[in-house]
């Protein structure tokens, strides 16, 4: 190199510096985390322009926080809290109406295994609090009275509760919906490759630098161990398990996914993973299949177009829908 004229060396240095500036750190990937909806959310995206990535990810987090304020039962001013408090018909926003509609359609499709009206039951068990409790049979009966797919009716934006005291809880679907909306914000900002992960509710935009995203599914009984790795592109993958939020008493595990028929934690399943086009549907379907267990749960997923799933039964056996069965 030292034999070359000075201007050639300067030109090479100039070209090298231009290339350096055009390739952002870590191969164009930016990853950020934030606490939203009581969950650690990670957004990872790829683009050559770091500023664009940074502002798109900020906007995606802002969208999730906006939805938390709209849909959380932990926030007394949210639309969902106001709906739960309302004695008569209540008018909701277009997007809340659409989410309730989706939830109700999955509630019907799953014969009520997915249920948006379990708010009173959830409060009773208080599994996510510092002082969870095992309710009495009488308390369970009272919390279950009048719940189910017919307990809420929607006409346009107007929601009618069949009982004034009915408590709505979107804990089994709203996180997935928020993940979808966050991904949409990234898409609209011109990002072509991204992943939004809210504690196991994952939406994927495009692929990962020409390769499928490789999504590791957590083993429900071996902490930190991957059960199965799924290569996926441009879709959503959501896992519901009994190992994230639970307490143990007298050797029994009490977790946060309830069987609406008994009011107690569903007992047939350890975890369900659903792959679908959108995370809101995948979220609700994973909760529904968890309650239904290996037979009816897998059948529910198998019967739906563009939906696949894998389920770990209470005895640890792994079941897959036909689209996820390996050829071996
Ligand atoms: P999933 O299986 O997807 O859902 C389980 C949750 O769905 C339960 O927690 C319950 O809410 C509900 N559910 C239980 N059984 C059924 C059933 N049969 N049918 C339908 N739904 C059922 N957590 C906090 O600790 N603090 C917060 O401030 C907080 N804010 C939140 C705000 C929003 C808008 C949302 C959506 C969630 C929030 N969460 C918060 C988390 C929430 O309490 C649940 O833990 C979380 O949604 C469970 O998601 P999952 O993927 O683990 O389980
Ligand atoms: Mg769910």
Let me know if residue 200 belongs to a domain.
yes
Cα dist from 132 to 152, 245, 253, 254, whole Å = 28, 11, 12, 9
Question: Can you give the pLDDT at residue 326?
Answer: 64
Mutation pick for ligand 1 pocket among 172, 178, 220 (CB with most ligand atoms within 8 Å): 172
Question: Can you give the pLDDT at residue 27?
Answer: 77
Let me know if residue 249 belongs to a domain.
yes
Let me know if residue 105 belongs to a domain.
no
Let me know if residue 309 belongs to a domain.
yes
Question: Can you give the pLDDT at residue 26?
Answer: 58
- Rounded Cα–Cα distance for residues 316 and 328 (Å): 20
Asked whether 170 lines ligand 1 (CB < 6 A), one says yes
Query: How many independent structural domains does the chain possess?
Result: 1
Let me know if residue 81 belongs to a domain.
no
10-44 pLDDT, tens digit each: 444 444 433 333 344 457 999 999 999 999 999 99
How buried is 322 (Cβ within 10 angstroms: 0-12 exposed, 13-18 middle, 19+ buried)?
exposed
- Rounded Cα–Cα distance for residues 111 and 9 (Å): 73
Let me know if residue 124 belongs to a domain.
no
Asked whether 256 lines ligand 1 (CB < 6 A), one says yes
Question: Can you give the pLDDT at residue 63?
Answer: 98
Residue 72 tokens read as 């959380």
Query: Which residue is closest in CA terms to ligand 1's atom 42?
Result: 171
Q: Which residue has the tokens 């017919």?
A: 150
Question: Can you give the pLDDT at residue 101?
Answer: 98
Let me know if residue 137 belongs to a domain.
no
Distance between alpha carbon 50 and the CA centroid of its chain, in Å? 27
Asked whether 119 lines ligand 1 (CB < 6 A), one says no
Question: Can you give the pLDDT at residue 128?
Answer: 87
Q: In the chain, which residues have pLDDT < 70?
A: 1-26, 326-328
SS3 for the chain, per residue? CCCCCHHHHHHHHHHHHHHHHHCCCHHHEEEEEEEECCEEEEEEEECCCHHHHHHHHHHHHHHHHHHHHHHCCCCCCCHHHHHHHCCCCEECCHHHHHHHHHHHHHHHHCCCCCCCCCHHHHHHHCCCCCCCCCCCHHHHHHHHCCCCHHHEEEECCEEEECCCCCCCCCCCCHHHHHHHHHHHHHHHCCCCEEEEEECCEEEEECCECCECEEEEEECCCCCCCEEEEEEECCCEEEEEECCCCEEEECCEEEECCEECCCCEECCCEEEEEEEECCHHHHHHHHHHHHHHHHHHHHHHHHHCCCCEEEEEECCCCEEECHHHCCCC
Let me know if residue 120 belongs to a domain.
no
Cα dist from 197 to 9, 118, 235, 285, 310, whole Å = 46, 25, 12, 17, 19
Mutation pick for ligand 1 pocket among 116, 131, 166, 171 (CB with most ligand atoms within 8 Å): 171
Question: Can you give the pLDDT at residue 244?
Answer: 84
Reference 278, options 171, 181, 209, 172; nearest CA is 181
pTM of the complete model:
0.92
177-233 pLDDT, tens digit each: 999 999 999 999 999 999 999 999 999 999 999 999 999 999 999 999 999 999 999
Query: Tell me, what CATH number does 309's domain have?
Result: 3.10.520.10
Asked whether 73 lines ligand 1 (CB < 6 A), one says no
Task: Determine the structural domain holding residue 203 and report its residue range.
Answer: 6-46+192-326
């Amino acid at each position: 190199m030292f034999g070359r004229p000075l201007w050639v060396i300067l030109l090479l240095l100039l070209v090298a510096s231009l290339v350096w500036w055009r390739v952002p750190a870590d191969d164009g990937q930016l990853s950020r985390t934030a606490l939203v909806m009581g969950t650690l959310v990670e957004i990872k995206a790829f683009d050559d322009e770091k500023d664009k990535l940074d502002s798109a990810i900020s906007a995606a987090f802002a969208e999730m926080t906006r939805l938390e304020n709209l849909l959380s039962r932990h926030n007394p001013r949210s639309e969902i809290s106001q709906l739960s408090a309302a004695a008569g018909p209540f008018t909701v926003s277009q997007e809340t109406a659409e989410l309730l509609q989706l939830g109700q359609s999955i509630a019907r499709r799953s014969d009520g295994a997915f249920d948006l009206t379990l708010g009173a039951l959830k409060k009773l068990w208080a599994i996510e609090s510092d002082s969870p409790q095992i309710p009495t049979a009488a308390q369970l009966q009272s919390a279950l009275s009048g719940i189910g797919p017919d307990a809420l009716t929607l006409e346009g934006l107007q929601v009618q509760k069949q009982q004034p005291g009915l408590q709505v809880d979107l804990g089994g679907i709203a996180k997935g919906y928020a993940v979808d909306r966050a991904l949409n914000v990234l898409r609209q900002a011109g990002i072509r490759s991204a992943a939004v992960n809210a504690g196991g509710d994952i939406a994927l935009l495009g692929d990962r630098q020409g390769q499928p995203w490789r999504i590791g599914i957590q083993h429900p009984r071996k902490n930190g161990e991957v059960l199965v790795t799924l290569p996926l592109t441009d879709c959503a993958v959501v896992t519901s398990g009994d190992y994230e939020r639970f307490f143990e008493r007298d050797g029994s595990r009490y977790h946060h996914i309830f069987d609406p028929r008994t009011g107690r934690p569903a007992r047939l399943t350890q975890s369900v993973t659903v792959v679908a086009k959108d995370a809101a549907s995948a979220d609700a379907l994973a909760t529904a299949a968890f309650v239904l267990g290996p037979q009816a749960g897998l059948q529910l997923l198998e019967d739906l177009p563009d939906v696949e799933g894998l389920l770990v039964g209470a005895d640890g056996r792994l079941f897959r829908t036909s689209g996820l069965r390996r050829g071996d």
